[in-house]
Structure formats: structure tokens, C-alpha cells
């Protein structure tokens, strides 16, 4: 429970903001490396290739739609950190990508993979901060959690796998529908998408357990922490 009079509550807000900003920076790095991004960002990248508005603004709009879904069906998953994620992450990703693309205008495979590897570490550390703040989940995580709880026969992990597959499929479809060149597909899907699917959860849990203020929420919700 958040309290304006509790200093620890403000510390949790700072953790959430820091985690989201780190997540946004890491997404910008992944998009610059062009080796693939996590499933939800695959959808967002495909959508941004089709709709001519800034990535940050588009991220806010898309997540506002998901937020409306959660508010209608189960608002208990929504918290202050959900709003922080909705408003900050997209713009942090947009401006980070602009910075890193100018810093590294041309990357070979080895430098791109190194940039991607660093991005994943930053993303998972940021996610650990975000989840340990315990002020709500991202809108994307909330959707899968709500569906899982409404359909009690379907475990969360299967809802998440289905939602991830849908995001990647729709993202790739939107990318090609926009007429974008196949050479740029790495900003939507690639080896990085597979890496995030298999390694983000364990790495987030690794950082989460080692934070001095950790509650290790990932161990309680093993599949819920794959999106920052």
C-alpha cells in the first residue's frame, strides 16, 4: 500500500522510475543492435513501422488500450508503477535509440551482439527494481494475468506464451504490411527475441534475490516478469 507520508513509499516510487528508465534505455539499445527485441516490443516495433507517429507516443496509446482492458476486467493488477511504465518507458526507448544509433551508426555482428548482451543485463536489473517496488505490474503483464485468473483452467505461463506468440506474429505482419525492407526486420524479431524468452526470467530473479530490499516476487510469480 502506497502512502504519501511514508518515506519508504517514495523510495519504492524511485525504484519504479529507475527500473522503467533502465528498461527504456535497454529497449533503445536492443533496437539499435537490431538482433530482435522481446515479444511485446516486437509488436510495438511492427506497429510503429506502420503508424507514422513517434515511438514514445505510440507506446503510451497502445498501453492505454491495454490499461483500459485491465481496468474493465480486474483493476487490482494496476498500480502507480503501471502508470509510470505507461508514460515513461516508450519515450525513454525512443530517445535512447536515437542516442545509440548516432553513437553507433554502423554495427557489425560482434559489436551488435555485445550491445544487445549489455542491454539484456540492464533490462533485467531494471525489471528487478520495478518488480521489487511492488507498486503494480506493466499493462502487458496485467493482460495475461487477468486472462489466466478469469480462465482458471489455463495456467498463467500458457497465457503468457500465447500472448507472446501473438505479439511477435502481429508485429512481424505489421512490419511487412508497412512495406518496410526485410533488412530491417532485426528491430522487430530475431535471435534476441528467443534470448529474451529463455533468459530474462532467470536473470531478473537473479538480480531480484540479491537486492538488499528484495521480496523476490519473481519466485512467487515465476512467469510474470518478462516485460519491463
What pLDDT, in 10s, does the model give residues 111-121? 999 999 999 99
In 20-159, DSSP assigns E strands to none
Is 62 part of any domain?
yes
CB proximity list for 8: less than 8 A, separation 6 or greater: none
Is 97 part of any domain?
yes
The domain containing residue 78 runs over which residues? 9-220
Is 4 part of any domain?
no
Is 3 part of any domain?
no
For residue 76, the model assigns a pLDDT of: 79
For residue 171, the model assigns a pLDDT of: 93
For residue 29, the model assigns a pLDDT of: 95
- Alpha helix segments (H runs only) across the chain: 7-33, 39-50, 55-73, 80-103, 109-133, 139-150, 156-177, 191-210, 217-220
Exposed, middle or buried, 70 (CB in 10 Å: 0-12/13-18/19+)? buried
What pLDDT, in 10s, does the model give residues 66-98? 999 888 887 777 888 899 999 999 999 999 999
Model confidence band, residue 211 (pLDDT cutoffs 50, 70, 90): confident
The answer to whether 48 and 178 have CB atoms below 8 angstroms apart is no
Based on its alpha-carbon atoms, the radius of gyration of the chain, rounded to whole angstroms, reads: 17
How many domains are contained in the chain? 1
Q: Please give the Cα distance from 116 to 23 (Å, whole number).
A: 13
pTM score, whole prediction: 0.81
What pLDDT, in 10s, does the model give residues 93-150? 999 999 999 999 888 999 999 999 999 999 999 988 988 888 888 888 888 878 877 7
The answer to whether 227 and 23 have CB atoms below 8 angstroms apart is no
Is 226 part of any domain?
no
Task: Round the average pLDDT of the chain to a whole number and report it.
Answer: 84
Comparing 206 with 43, the larger pLDDT belongs to 43
Amino acid at each position: 500500500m502506497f502512502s504519501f507520508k511514508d518515506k519508504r513509499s517514495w523510495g519504492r516510487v524511485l525504484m519504479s522510475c529507475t527500473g522503467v528508465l533502465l528498461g527504456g534505455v535497454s529497449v533503445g539499445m536492443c533496437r539499435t543492435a537490431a538482433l530482435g527485441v522481446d515479444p511485446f516490443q516486437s509488436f510495438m516495433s511492427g506497429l510503429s513501422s506502420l503508424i507514422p507517429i513517434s515511438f514514445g507516443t505510440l507506446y503510451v496509446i497502445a498501453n492505454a488500450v491495454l490499461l483500459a482492458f485491465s481496468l474493465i476486467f480486474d483493476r487490482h493488477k494496476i498500480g502507480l508503477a503501471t502508470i509510470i511504465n505507461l508514460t515513461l518507458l516508450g519515450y525513454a526507448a525512443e530517445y535512447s535509440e536515437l542516442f545509440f544509433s548516432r553513437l553507433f551508426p554502423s554495427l557489425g555482428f560482434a559489436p551488435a551482439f555485445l550491445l544487445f548482451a549489455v542491454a539484456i543485463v540492464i533490462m533485467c536489473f531494471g525489471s528487478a527494481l520495478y518488480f521489487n517496488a511492488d507498486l503494480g505490474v506493466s499493462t502487458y503483464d496485467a493482460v495475461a494475468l487477468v486472462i489466466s485468473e478469469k480462465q482458471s483452467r489455463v495456467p498463467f505461463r500458457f497465457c503468457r506464451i500465447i500472448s507472446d506468440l501473438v505479439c511477435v506474429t502481429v508485429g512481424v505482419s505489421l512490419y511487412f504490411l508497412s512495406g518496410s525492407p526485410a533488412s530491417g526486420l532485426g528491430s522487430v524479431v530475431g535471435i534476441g527475441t528467443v534470448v529474451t524468452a529463455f533468459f530474462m526470467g532467470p536473470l531478473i530473479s537473479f538480480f531480484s534475490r540479491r537486492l538488499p530490499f528484495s521480496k523476490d516476487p519473481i519466485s512467487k510469480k515465476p512467469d510474470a516478469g518478462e516485460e519491463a
